[in-house]
Amino acid sequence: MRIGYVRVSTEDQNTDRQDLGAVDKLFTEKVSGATAKDRPQLQALMEFAREDDEVVVYSIDRLARDLRDCLHIVTTLNGKGVTVSFLSERLTFTAKDDDPFAKLQLHLMSAFAEFERSIIRRRQREGIEKAKKRGVYKGRPPQIDAAQVCQMRKSGLGPTEIARDLGISRASVYRLMKQSASHPAATVG
């Protein structure tokens, strides 16, 4: 079976550039490729793939942005007897073929993808710092209504009930309670 994997980093990005040709099953994600464990479609693909299947990915950086993750994914799939092919780099990895040149290329391309991700993150941090100095960047808006947490606490609900009702962690409830305790005007009670 020919299995495709397509990934873009954000919901508003388009996957059209990653033409895999005909595939029997396609796994598509719109999430960051920073770590393999945070990508449910990749995890599903790894569970789904069986011996003699071929996993097709447009390029190495679509599969992983970290050398360790890339090597782990390819090794795990090869260990199941699954072939992994990268179309852009024209590289194919199988459990049966122990091509040292292909392995070197995988290491190099994965290292470049990881390097690129590090550079992007550094530029992003630098841009945020400059924006903060100019007073333009305020950070992400609060996702939890602190006043609502305070009101729920005053009405007698405990942190566990508040967390469950609002769909947040208990740690967030405790953090907000602690913050409001340090500001007496907004005491939680």
Phi, psi angles (nearest 5°) of residue 180: -70, -30
CA distance 146 to 186: 9
In whole angstroms, what is the distance from residue 107 CA to residue 113 CA?
A: 10
Determine whether 88 is an active site residue.
Answer: no
Choose among 100, 93, 90, 61: nearest CA to 79.
93
CA distances from 121 to 3, 114, 115, 118, 140 (A): 31, 11, 10, 5, 17
Classify burial at 34, counting beta carbons within 10 Å of its beta carbon; exposed 0-12, middle 13-18, buried 19 or more.
Answer: middle
- With a CB cutoff of 8 Å and minimum separation 6, the contacts of 72 are 36
Q: Which of 9, 59, 85, 172 is catalytic?
A: 9
Catalytic residues: 9
